[in-house]
Each structure stands twice: as C-alpha cells, then as structure tokens.
Amino acid sequence: MVKKKVTHQSNDPKQRNPSQEIHDPAKDSTFTKASNPLSRQSSMEDPKEKLQNLKSLNSLLVKEAFESRQQIDSLVQAKEALEVELIERKKLEAEESEKNVSVELQNGLVSVYMVNQMKELGVERETVIGALKNKVSGLIGSLEEERKMLSLVCEERDLVRNDFELQVNEGKLMKEKLTEMEGNERKFVEEIGKLKVEYDRLVWEKEELEKVKSSMVKDRNLLEKNMTDMAGEVEHLRRENEKVVREKKEIEIEKNEQRVKIDEMEKEMSEVILSFRKEDGVLRSKIFELEKNCGEAMDREAERAIEIGALVEEKRAKERSIEKLMEEKDFISRSLEAIMVESEDRQRRIEKLLEESDANRRALEMNEKELRDMHKKIKELLGDKTEIEKDKIHGENENIKLHNEVSELRNIVHRLQEECLDHQKKKDELVSEVSRFKALVDQITLERDNALKGFDKEKHNGVNLRSKVSEMENMLKKTEEELARKRTEWQNLIEEKKEMGSHIGSLAEDKDRLYLELLETKRSFNDLRAKMESTTINYERALTLLKNTASLLCQSKDEKSPEEAAIAEQKLEDENELYAMELEAIKKAFKNKETVAQDLKQKVELMEKSMVEAQKKKSFWTLVSSATTLLAAITVAYAARGR
C-alpha cells in the first residue's frame, strides 16, 4: 500500500508538469496583451497634453472673439445714435432755412407795402400847404420828448437784447451740459453693461464650480464604494491566500509584470497627485481672482455712488438755473408789456399829430381860397382901370395904397410859400421820423415776438430738461436698485465662495483620508506579496521533495517483479484517467481565465476612457476613481485566478 501511494505521488508531477509547460506560452500571450494598453496609455500622454493646450487656446480665442463682438455691437449702437442726431440736426437746419425764407418774404412784402404807403402819403402831403407856425413849437417839443422816449426805449431794447443774448448763452451752456450729461449717462450705461458681463462671467464660473463640486462629490462617493469593494476583495484575497500558493508558477511568471504594473500605477498615482496639486493651485488662483473681482466691483460701486451724487448736485444746480430763467422770463415779459403800452401811447400821439396835420391842411386850403379871392379882386381892380384913370387923381393914392398892399401881399405870399416849403421839409422830416418810429416799433415788435418765441423755446427746453431730469432720476433709481441687487448677489457669491472654500477643505480632508487608505492598501498588498513569496519558497521546497520522492519511486519500480508491474500499470491507467479528467478541468479553468483576461482587457479599456475623460475634466477624483478601478480589476483578476 505504501508503494502504491508512492507511485501515485510519483506520477502526479510527471503528468502535471507537461500540461503546465504546454499552457505557459498562452498565459504569456494573455498577459502581454493585458500589459499593452498600459504601454499605450503612457504613450498617449503627450498628445493628450497637446489636446488640453489646444482646448485652452480655443477657449481663450472664443472669449476674445466674444469680447470683440461686444465692442463691435457697442460701436454700431453709438454710430446709429450719431446718425439719428445728424438726421435731426439736418431737419432742424431745413426748418430754420424755411423760416428764414418766409421771414425774408414777409420783409419784402412789408417793404413794398411801406413804399406804396410812403408814395401815397407823399402824394397826399404834396397837397398840404398850411400854416403850421403855432403848432411847430409843440411838434418840436413832442419830437424832443419822443426822442427822449426813443432813447429810453433803445436803452431798454439794448438791455432786452443783452438779456436775450445772456439767455441764449445760458441755453447753449445748458445744451452743452445736457450733452455732457448724455455722454456721462452713456458711459454709465456702458459701465453697467460691463458690470453685467462681469456678473454673468462670475455666475458662469460659479456654475462651473458647482459642476466641479458635484463631480467631486460623485467621485468621492465612487471612491468610497470602490474602497468598500476593495476592502471586501482584500478580505477575500486573505481568505484565498492558501489557494494562491497552488498557482505559484503562474505567480512567478506574472510577478515581474505585476511589478511593472505596480510601478506604473505608482507613477500614475504620483501624476494624479501632481495634477491634483496643480488643480488645487488653479482653484486657489480662481478664488483669488474672484476676491479681486469682488474688490474691484466694490470700488466701482463706490465710484458709481460718487458719480450719482455729482449728477444729483448738477441736477439741483440746473433746477436752480431753470428757476432763475423763469424769473428772468417773467421780468422780461413784464418789461415787454410796459414797452407795448408805451408803443400804444406813441401810436395815439402819432394819430393826434396826423389829425393836427389834417387840420393844418384844411387851414392852408382856406388861405388858398382867400388868396384866390384877392387875385379876383386884383383882376377886378385892373378891369376897372378906366374908372381908375377917370378917378386917377382920386385913385392915385388908393392905387399906391393898393400897390403897397399888393407888394405886401406878394411878400406875404412869398413868405408863406417859403414857410410852406419849410413846413413841407419839416413835414417830410416828421414823416421820415414817423416812418423811422414805425420801423422801430415794428423792429421792437419783431424783437418782442422773437423774444417770446425764444422764451417759448426756452420754456419748451425747460420742460424737456425737466422731463430729462425726471428720466435721469428714474434711471438713477433703477441703477440704485440694480446696485442694491448686485450687492446682494455679490454678498451671496461671497457666501457661496466661503461655502465652496469650506467644501474644498472638506474635500481636501477626504483626499488625505483616501490617500491614507491607499497607503494602507499598499501596505496590505506588500504584506500579501511577502506572504506569497514565502509560500512560493515553501512550494519550491515541496517541489524538490516531490522530485526526490519521484526519483526514488522510479528506482523502486525497476526493482519490482513483472506481476507487480502489471498491477501498477493498471493502476497507472486508472490514475491516467483521473489525470485526464483533471487535465480537462484545468483546460476549462484556463478557458475561464481567458474569459477573465478578456474582461480585464475591457476593464482596462474602460479605465483608459475614464483617464481620458479625467484629463479632459482636469479633476483629481476621476483619476483616483480610475486608479481604484485598476486596483479593483487587479484584485478581481487575482480572485479569478485563485478560483
């Protein structure tokens, strides 16, 4: 019985060794295939970095293109506003040219009418030849009074002109201030637009941070799950450590490959740690930029408050100037009313002078009739010459008297004619002065109308200014509301930033904890490796013992009898059948291992994809999850091989 057992033990290694030697190259091929993706992964790192650089450049170019588009849109809007202002100015110039043409036509018609009236008056005044001696002094006195009044009116007119020019200058200054206010308003609107763009950018960064936060939370959950799985698998490995001893030769073949893989994983872990540190620095720089942007926004907000106070003070000053203009307008309207009353008095005086000139004309007509009667008497006297010659002696004295009276009458007529000429000249002067007074009155009325129009325009401008001021107040209120809303949003962003900082701190603590757990898993893995090496040493010793026993059994077999040899051959056949069954089971196990190797290849491909996605997202947790999936795949492989 002892010999039979020895024969069984001696045949076992002989039958098992060739099967193991036959299947070794297949195992080598499978593990070389499994190691190929890792080498590909190391070779794919450089183009991935180039891809990341290209993507960052593309994002910068997209941002610059967006900013240039915004600048182009603002320039187009400013151009459209300038074109609208040019069209309005052209319309105003056309209206002013039409008004000037109408005024020139009115002046031409008035001049023609005045010329006709002057001609008619000249024709009528040519018939007027009266004695105006008694009324010349009164007319001269009234003329002097009128001249004094005219000088006063001219002085008042000059004052009104100066006031009007001052008001025009003030209106121009108001328009310039309005243009400046509009420019400031545009600048304010542009700055508000910039603040909105910065706010949108900060909101976008906040959303990106929230996305990163959610991805980090998901990766942390995956890490925790993977760590629990790893812990279970480590326990399973510890339980199946005895089974791994049986597959010592396979482990010896795979030992070097596993060492290479472990080195690669350590390199990947170091790269992951470096990338995490880089991302930590990037996040800190982003947080610093956010704090800097918050400070700049607060400074800009203070500047906006100062500008708003300056605008409010300018608005109050403009309201005071508008009130002063309204008071000056009331004063000028009162002075114009007084001037109109005085012009009406002058018109009445001119009408009285015209009535007196008509009375003088009637007196002159009466004097002409008397002169005609005198001429008739002279003719009658000349006709009665015969009677005068008869009564020559008696009529010489009368003739001399009559001649003296005639000479006196001729002198009187000559003197009256000269006086008529003088009166005619004075009348012409009076008419010219009256026409000049009328022209002055017309000019004053025109100036009054222009002043009233100017006042109406100024009133309209004042109304427009008030409406613009009210619009500006509404805009200021809206901007204050927006600033308050922005302040609240900034405060919310600051609070969220603080929360993100605290969350990042917690994530860093989780990272440190996971790193410690990884170190513990490495230690446990090293312990398992040491145990496996010790088991391999024990296994080699057992193999040497088995070889020695097999050699001893072979020597004892040669020394046996032929009957025992036949019995041993039958037993060997039975044992060979058993070994064939075991070989089929081993083949099935190798097939199962091939399927497990394919599964491992698929998992490695998935890990490569996850590594690519992790490099695209630049997140540490995806890399850690991929590393944990690597460890999980390795542990699954160990478990499958052990089974």
When comparing pLDDT for 181 and 231, which is higher?
Answer: 181
The dihedrals phi and psi of 212, each to the nearest 5 degrees, come to -60, -40
Residues in CB range of 340: below 8 A, 6 or more apart: 448
HSE-CB of 131 using CA atoms within 13 angstroms: 10
413 neighbors 371 (Cβ within 8 angstroms):
yes
- Between residues 612 and 341, which one has the greater pLDDT? 341
DSSP assignment letter at 240: T
Rg (CA), the chain: 63
Say if residue 365's pLDDT is above 60: yes
Closest residue by Cα to residue 95 from 455, 468, 444, 457: 457
Rounded alpha-carbon distances, angstroms, from residue 319 to 154, 179, 455: 33, 16, 17
CA–CA gap between residue 243 and residue 245 (Å, rounded): 5
pLDDT value at residue 28: 42
Please say whether the beta carbons of 199 and 486 come within 8 A. yes
Whole-angstrom Cα distance, residue 538 to residue 245?
9
Nearest residue to 514 (alpha-carbon basis) of 278, 220, 217: 220
Average pLDDT over residues 562-566: 55
Share of the chain above pLDDT 70, in %: 30
| Residues 6+ away with beta carbon under 8 Å from 511 | 276, 620, 624
Mean pLDDT value of segment 282-293: 66
- Note the pLDDT tens digit of each residue in 399-411: 566 566 656 666 7
* pLDDT of res. 434: 62
Side-chain half-sphere exposure of 427, counting CA atoms within 13 A: 26
CB 131 within 8 A of CB 367: yes
Looking at residues 143-162, what average pLDDT do you find? 73
How is residue 500 written in tokens?
Answer: 């993100």
Predicted confidence (pLDDT) at residue 252 exceeds the cutoff of 70 = no
Output the average pLDDT for the chain. Answer: 65
Tracing tokens 């918050």 back to the chain, one arrives at 294
Element spanning 1, H or E: none
Residue showing tokens 């170091």: 270
329 within 8 A of 462, measured Cβ to Cβ:
no
Q: How many CA atoms lie within 13 A of 132 on its CB side?
A: 29
* Secondary structure letter of residue 643 according to DSSP: -
Q: Which of 639, 613, 526 is nearest to 52 (CA)?
A: 613
**Dist CA 222 CA 514 (whole Å):** 12
- Separation between Cα atoms, residue 625 and residue 469, nearest integer Å: 63
From CA 409, how far away is CA 371, in angstroms rounded? 9
pLDDT at 87 over 80: yes
392-558 and 133-239 helices cross at what angle (nearest 10)? 0
- Per residue in 288-305, pLDDT tens? 776 676 667 667 666 766
How many Å apart are CA 363 and CA 432, to the nearest integer?
A: 23
Please check whether residue 139 is in contact with residue 346, taking contact to mean a CB–CB distance below 8 angstroms.
no
- Count the alpha carbons within 13 Å of 617 in the hemisphere toward its beta carbon: 21
Q: Residue 323 and residue 321: Cα distance in Å, rounded?
A: 5
Neighbour tally for 307: CB within 10 Å: 16
CA triplet 356, 359, 364: central angle to 5 degrees? 125
What pLDDT is attached to residue 16?
40
Predicted confidence band at 463 (pLDDT cuts at 50, 70, 90)? confident
Q: How many residues does the chain have?
A: 643
Confidence of residue 90 (pLDDT cuts 50, 70, 90): confident
Residues 504-542: tens digit of each pLDDT: 677 667 667 766 876 776 676 677 667 667 766 765 676
Cα separation, 224 vs 450, in Å, equals: 90
Q: For 377-402, give one letter per residue: b (16+ CB within 10 A) or e.
A: eeeebeeeeeebeeeeeebeeebeeb
Say how far apart CA 558 and CA 576 lie, in whole Å.
Answer: 20
| pLDDT, tens digit (0-9, with 9 covering 90-100), for 574-591 | 655 655 565 565 556 555
- Over residues 591-612, the mean pLDDT reads 59
**Contact between 272 and 624 (Cβ < 8 Å):** yes
Angle at the Cα of 280 from the Cα atoms of 276 and 282, rounded to 5 degrees: 115
**Residue 211 near residue 617 (C-beta atoms within 8 A):** no
* Structure-token match 């020394």, residue found: 559
Q: Give the confidence band of 482 by pLDDT, cuts at 50, 70, 90.
A: confident
Instruction: Give the residue-averaged pLDDT of 202-220.
Output: 70
Nearest residue to 240 via CA among 578, 583, 531: 531
Positive or negative CA dihedral for 446, 451, 454, 459?
negative
Cβ neighbours, 10 Å, residue 420: 19
Residue-wise burial string across 163-173, b where 16 or more C-beta atoms lie within 10 A, e elsewhere: bbeebeebbee
